[in-house]
Structure 1
């Protein structure tokens, strides 16, 4: 019997096509959806990279200053685009704002317990925050839990979203190896959710919350994320 020569690459392509057809059939979706590749806006990514670099050096820069910085580099952008990209990245200028410490009616606000207090032992005070990590084609959010005394990162999680479940996973991983006397966070919606607070209250941990976001916290986490 004479066998025709088989092109290996063609055979693999046919096999991949069959797998994709089966995937589409099982999921009950159009076959074109399986083949879809998201379009990456390279221009916006470049702008976001520049904003990220500048924000890390000067976190007090808002959309106006970011726009001027980009224009000096030759990018013709308006403020609305800069605002949209900064919202997408989850960043905003850090500066004292009016009524920033006003309690929100949607959640219980805990007092800040660390004023004029210095941690003197491990597991006395833990803190947490969320920052973002620049990737080649987008961004990832990093939530980390850190011991104040040792500056040791007890646990961390990466995610493409800012869901509270990500923060709870990081918290439970940290609590599996120790228990702090005080747990400090800002008043972000993830850290003031009932599910997150319940994990702390069930273990008798004192909860401390910043009235304002501290300038020192994000650089510490961002430095860890860039390693």
Structure 2
């Protein structure tokens, strides 16, 4: 098989799509070469070469001509600004509209750079003289500390992609040296309208049934004691205006790290094989690693079974119609759709694949905290395991 031959070679290969997405993180998103290389697990000099090659093909930007700022345009801009403020201020201040003037003053101070003071006074129904008097009096030490802490909370919440709730934000703050309780973080986040992403509702599923083509060797033992002992894999689909984009992912159960993944416009055995080959390239496991899947036709194909046998991997399959036998893989797809896809439809398959790369390689593996990993990211959890020398 072609894929087997590529894997057995000495050189580590990367697809054109992988290279393009890695370069995009540096050129378009502003990450450093060292940061991106460490997150996705490639040598920094390799990524630097990709970036330099890509820059040579980018045309120099042309000069832009600023529009004339006539009196009519200035008048229209002022009118647009007034209408926009009268629309946006009530939306952001709805939590303080029915509260006292101190709460309104605090909102005005927090949004002083976003809205004009005269507009906020008009919408909130307060006087500028009262606001200035409140500023001169000053906030209490507790209020000042809450504002400082809220700034840190917003930073970590945005850094997580607006995904984390108060528990994970509290872990981030404590790791940064802050002393605060999760109840205080919850209060501040709730007052500011910051919340974790909420998942989809559960659908009823059929359970039980006869044994599959391969025995359920895993048997819901989702807690291996070391990396590269048990991998789980599954397929999901993502909506685009060009049609479905299918995603296959391979996860290491020890750390919950996605060790291999692939996308395609069709759901064939080649898709799952590409994901498994990517995992083998990245991890280079020894013989005996268990690979657990459901009983989909892609995993019962002769190509899949032959690859496992050729590389001395142990196959395992869920019982027919029992999704809980592969619950961890399905949980990852639920998290992906909850935290990143969020029920939207991508314009193209390429844009969807690019967003998947950004989520898995730039956030999920190196940064996102996991309760099963002691509140650490998968990469950090495995790094500490390697340092322990077990």
Task: Indicate the TM-score class for this superposition, using the shorter chain for normalisation.
Answer: 0.5 to 0.7
Question: Residue 58 of structure 1 aligns with which residue?
Answer: 201
Question: Residue 90 of structure 1 aligns with which residue?
Answer: none
Displacement of 1:103 in angstroms is 4.5
Rounded to whole Å, the distance in 2 between the matches of 1:115 and 1:222 is: 18
Which whole-Å deviations, capped at 9, do the CAs of 1:78-132 have from their partners, x for residues lacking one? Answer: xxxxxxxxxxxxxxxx4134xx53256xxx3233324446211110100100011
Q: Which of the two has greater strand per residue?
A: 1
Aligned counterpart for 2:290 among listed residues 182, 205, 209: 182
Displacement of 1:223 in angstroms is 2.8
Displacement of 1:170 in angstroms is 1.3
Q: Please state if 1:203 is matched with 2:203.
A: no
Displacement of 1:222 in angstroms is 4.2
Question: Residue 42 of structure 2 aligns with which residue?
Answer: none
Q: Please state if 1:139 is matched with 2:247.
A: no
User: What are the within-5 Å matches in structure 2 for residues 103-182 of structure 1?
Assistant: 103=211, 108-116=213-221, 118-177=223-282, 178-179=284-285, 181-182=289-290
3-state SS in 2 of match to 1:176: helix
Q: Please state if 1:220 is matched with 2:332.
A: yes
Rounded to whole Å, the distance in 1 between the matches of 2:267 and 2:244 is: 12
3-state SS in 2 of match to 1:146: strand
User: What are the within-5 Å matches in structure 2 for residues 88-103 of structure 1?
Assistant: 94-97=204-207, 100-103=208-211
Rounded to whole Å, the distance in 1 between the matches of 2:223 and 2:281 is: 25
Report the number of matched residues: 134
User: What are the within-5 Å matches in structure 2 for residues 36-47 of structure 1?
Assistant: none
Report if the CA contact (8 A) 1:131-1:142 is conserved: yes
Rounded to whole Å, the distance in 1 between the matches of 2:246 and 2:222 is: 30
Rounded to whole Å, the distance in 2 between the matches of 1:117 and 1:219 is: 12
Rounded to whole Å, the distance in 2 between the matches of 1:135 and 1:151 is: 27
Question: Residue 34 of structure 1 aligns with which residue?
Answer: none
Larger Rg: 2
* Structure 2 unpaired stretches of 5+: 1-198, 341-358, 360-390
Rounded to whole Å, the distance in 2 between the matches of 1:120 and 1:216 is: 16
3-state SS in 2 of match to 1:155: strand
Rounded to whole Å, the distance in 2 between the matches of 1:116 and 1:127 is: 11
* Structure 1 unpaired stretches of 5+: 1-55, 61-93
Q: Which of the two has greater helix per residue?
A: 2
Question: Residue 301 of structure 2 aligns with which residue?
Answer: 193
Which whole-Å deviations, capped at 9, do the CAs of 1:139-195 have from their partners, x for residues lacking one? Answer: 311101110011111111111211111111111121123226211101111011110
Displacement of 1:137 in angstroms is 4.8
TM-score (normalised: structure 1): 0.52
3-state SS in 2 of match to 1:197: helix
